[in-house]
Structure 1
Amino acid sequence: MNIKKYTPIDRRTFLKGAGGVALSLPLLESMAASEEDLSSPTRMICGAVFYGLMPKFFNPVEVGKDYQLTPLLQPLSQHKQDMTVFSGLDHNMGGGHHSTRYFLNGIQISQAAAFEQGNISVDQKAANFIGTQTRYPSLVLGATSNDFNLISWSENSIPKAQVTKVSELHRKLFSQLGPRQKAKFEKSLNDKNSILDLVRQDARKHQDKFSKADKEKLDQYFTSIRELEKRAKQSRNWLDKPKPSTDYVLSDEVDSLDIAQRMKYYYDLMVLALQTDSTRVISLSFSALGPNYGGFTGVSHDYHSLSHHGNVPETMEELLIIEKAYMEGFAYFLDKLKQIKEPSGKTLFDSTMSLFGCGMSSGNSHSNRNLPVVLAGGGFKHGEHKKYARSNGRSVELNNLYLSMLQKFGLKIDKFNTSTGTLKGLEWT
């Protein structure tokens, strides 16, 4: 397709001449200096719930293009041709609820030492590839503050801290720093670097006295220090670059809303984060409902208790309300992505691979087999239910899907964690 060339306009000039109107500005055609500038960067979104998605209501019976949408897939009906539903993929691990934290990596902490990059998760592998190209290599979001809600892991087996408040996410994306705030922030970065230098020097001074086990722990510690330094450098590089503006307004009470009402705010801001190229990698997880049973109409029991439904129909129907609401939230996000046109002529949906699922299939049985997984958009050939059979007592590795996603993201790798290759049958457009 021929792309019309435009005389480039500096983005700051455009904002300055906007007459004070606050707009969320993505890359516009008139800001592009070449056809390359009109290309859409690849993005990755990873969404997860904690207590599984009931297999009875999630897994389709038919395989291929003519599968029937199940109750939990019904909210995604208008995206059926643009998504793939997977069956038969998992991480070949047990652990029940505790393994949901490893949905995006497939490696528990106790096993991480055997892998070159520990138990790094797929979103952080992509974020490392992006580096300093965006203000935030990734955004890690959690709808509730909960240790079991953690799904993103760095290469040194440390879970990434989550942004749990909608107001904090909005501030990170759009709040400008004044001169005093910049000076204070830069001082804190300098102080942090000074402390890290002192710690490193002190540790090296005494390293001859350490045992082999201590030296291994020290290596992990130095890896953590390097990661802190990398984040500090990233922050300094973007310190003097203005953040985008937006007319998206939050109410003062947004953080006190129930999850049922708050969910769309996360997704709205995620779309804006991608549209303004503030980041290209985002993870979002849901676990405990919080007070008022999450604000879901018809729910009067704790989420965890409902997940142990014992196949009681009334309990399963109540749990289905929660699970369907999460699928509706994901559908809302995909709807928003399709509404955003990019200079390339594609939509934001086309360039964003959007994954949603869980590291446990059934909360009732604590099963980690046949994990519920949906992938939408992102330049893959979709429109099917793909089912993979077990072989020699093992499932096809979910990390095979992640390897395919990482390669589509641009990484030149042929291995990711426990993968045995890319996922067969999943093709690019």
Structure 2
Amino acid sequence: MKPHHFSRRTFLRGVGVSMALPWLESINVWGDEPAKNAAAGIDPSSDAPVRLAVLFSGNGFHSQEWWAKGEGKSMELGKVLAPLHDFRDRMLFVKGLYHEEARKGNIHSSQTGNMLSGAPIASGGEIKSGTSFDQMLAQSYGRSTKIPSLVLGCERSNPSVHKNYSMLYSSHISWSSPTTPTPLELYPALAFDRLFKDEASPADKSVLDAVLKDAETLRRSVSTSDQRKLDEYLDSVREVEKRISNAGQRGELQGWRPTLTQPNIERPADGIPQDIAEHMRLMIDILVLGFQTDTTRITTLKLNNDHSALRFPNLPSLQQVGHGIDYMIHHLLSHSDGEDWLKVNQFFLEQTAYLARKLDSIQEGSRTLLDNTMLMHCSSMMAGARHDNDQLPVIVVGGGGGRIQGGRVIDYQGKPDRQLCRLFLSMMDKMDIHPDNFGDARTMLDEV
């Protein structure tokens, strides 16, 4: 096949729209010409960028069921982590890390506002924390992409004050500066628009319709296998567009039971899906598209707030047979270790498993997108019933571009220098960002 020359960042373009391409063997998106790589015996996936995805779920987990033992495919998992059974050999279970500053307030806000920074938290309703490590990466590593970082959420921010601490701390894990939580996008349609449209305008026509002509021109210039890959990618974008247009038209309403079983006015074109499971899956699909197209390499997804008010009518209750788990908000449910609390925990980890599975289905040369990603799931306390954060629940799934060996349990409990920020330094190092220190950490974790 005759080699073709493309710019380092390759886009499909239309009126008001730019849509980045996924990895294609015929096109040099990240590095040297494919033909030149092949002649030199270079695996093209070795030049793929490393991505970071941070998923957060508030209020901790079941106190007896967050654990892992052993290694590789024979690793044993507690019931909370059961959804990640297929990814045991790709997972780091990191035990014993903590934030010293987060232990001072002993309340949800003071334990969450520095989740990704380890910085001191201001009390008295004042807003002051620290720049989070995802935004440290966005300020340098993220400059290579259209969107330095994508910050997504599935529950609205809470602006109130609780026990002398602003609840904005509970609502945000990503901070652009010590006094500025990074704006959180709750609307799938607007998150999608931000990826693909030069100016977000929900009323505009389909992104795909705008770039089809350019896509057809490109299709004639790539290999047969890349044509199939391009078709699959465009189909996935179309599917997300369709789901966004239908979001909120089905499923059960969150929270209290309203007097109407159906809205009595026409649903707005853009909104938040009423089915929390659909909301989370849509956000994950958009996250994957952002990574797959290299439109962004850094994404945080806050599945819910700490001190969360979410309910889960989509999950059948094991404690109240015949009902969904909507008889109690997430925060209050976390104060017990009942069967329904465990079921909600597993629901959150199912979202991580769903994301890992999608990333692992996308090939980038000899690797998958999961191989080139660091996917971290964390919470700001171990168990909601005790608000205990002397060690924090943290797992990392994915290969970090071949720089992380999975299938391991790493235990720092009882050891000195067990700052969680040391893990963040190690993760930044995998993305070739090397600050001298971060938060309360001065050195990386050698084992990661």
> 1:260 maps to which residue?
277
- Give the match for residue 97 of structure 2: 89
Q: Distance in 1 between matches of 2:294 and 2:190?
A: 18
State the Cα distance separating 1:91 from its structure 2 match. 0.9
Note if 1:170 corresponds to 2:192. yes
In the superposition, the TM-score normalised over structure 1's length comes to 0.72
The one of 67, 76, 98 aligned to 1:68 = 76
Q: 1:57 & 1:11 partners in 2: Cα distance?
A: 46
Cα deviation, 1:330-350, whole Å, max 9, x if unaligned, reads 0000000011112x4321111
How many corresponding residue pairs?
343
Cα offset, 1:30, TM superposition = 1.7
> 2:312 corresponds to which residue?
293
Partner of 2:121: 109
Report the alpha carbon displacement of residue 57 of structure 1 after superposing the two structures with TM: 1.0
The range that moved more, 160-169 or 36-45, is 36-45
> Paired residue for 1:127?
138
Q: CA deviation at 1:157?
A: 3.3
Richer in strand (by share):
2
Q: CA deviation at 1:420?
A: 3.7
Q: Return the alpha-carbon distance in structure 2 between the equivalents of residues 381 and 296 of structure 1.
A: 34
1:101 to partner: Cα distance? 2.6
Whether contact under 8 Å (1:166, 1:266) holds in the other structure is: yes
1:125 counterpart SS class = helix
Give the structure-2-normalised TM-score.
0.69
Equivalent of 2:329 in 290, 293, 302: 302
Per-residue deviation, 1:5 = 9.6
Larger helix share, 1 or 2: 1
- Of 261, 276, 298, 1:281 maps to 298
SS at match of 1:90: coil
User: Is the 2:97–2:392 contact (alpha carbons within 8 Å) kept by the matching residues of 1?
Assistant: yes
CA contact (8 A) 2:309 2:331 kept: no
Equivalent position of 2:161 in the other structure: none
Aligned twin of 2:264: none
Preserved CA contact (<8 Å) 2:148 2:296 = yes
Question: How far apart, CA to CA, are the structure 2 residues paired with 1:63 and 1:142?
Answer: 34
Quote the residue 2:88 is aligned against: 80
Please tell me whether residue 251 in structure 1 is matched to residue 268 in structure 2.
no
Q: Equivalents in 2 of 1:323, 1:406: separation in Å? A: 28
Q: Kindly indicate whether the alpha-carbon contact (under 8 Å) linking 2:99 and 2:420 is maintained by their aligned counterparts in 1.
A: yes
Gaps of 5+ in 1: 112-116, 183-243
Aligned partner (choices 329, 332, 338) of residue 354 of structure 2: 332
Secondary structure of the structure 2 residue equivalent to 1:277: coil
Answer whether contact 1:271 1:336 (CA < 8 A) is retained: yes
The residue that corresponds to 1:369 in the other structure is: 390
Match of 1:30 among 16, 26, 29: 26
Q: Is the 8 A contact 2:147 2:195 kept in 1?
A: no
Shift in Å, 1:155: 3.2
The one-letter amino acid paired with 2:174 is S
Runs of 4+ in 1 over 6 A off after TM superposition: 10-14
More off after superposition, 325-334 vs 119-128 = 119-128
Matched residue, 2:289? 272
Cα pair 2:155 2:310 within 8 Å, conserved: no
CA distance in 1, matches of 2:390, 2:363: 38
**Within 5 A, what are the aligned runs for 1:116-265?**
119-146=130-157, 147=168, 148-177=170-199, 246-247=237-238, 248-249=240-241, 250-254=244-248, 255-265=272-282
Secondary structure of 1:374's aligned partner: strand
Instruction: Name the % identity.
Output: 29
Name the SS for the 2:285 alignment partner: helix
Sort the Cα spacing of 1:295 and 1:304 in 2 relative to 1 into closer, same or farther, 3 A.
same
Q: Please report how far the alpha carbon of residue 272 of structure 1 lies from its aligned counterpart in structure 2 after TM superposition.
A: 0.3
- Structure 2, unpaired ranges of 5+: 158-167, 205-232, 249-271, 318-324
C-alpha offsets along residues 178-224 of structure 1, whole Å, 9 cap, x if unaligned? 99x99xxxxxxxxxxxxxxxxxxxxxxxxxxxxxxxxxxxxxxxxxx
Q: Determine the structure 2 residue equivalent to 1:52.
A: 60
Q: Distance in 2 between matches of 1:178 and 1:106?
A: 34
Deviation by residue 1:378-399 (Cα, 9 ceiling, x = unmatched): 13011011111324xx661111
Please tell me the root mean square deviation across aligned C-alpha atoms, in Å.
Answer: 3.2
Note closer, same or farther for the CA distance 1:305–1:177 as it changes in structure 2 (3 Å cut): closer
The Cα shift of 1:352 comes to 0.8
Could you tell me whether the CA contact under 8 Å between 2:141 and 2:431 is conserved in 1?
A: no
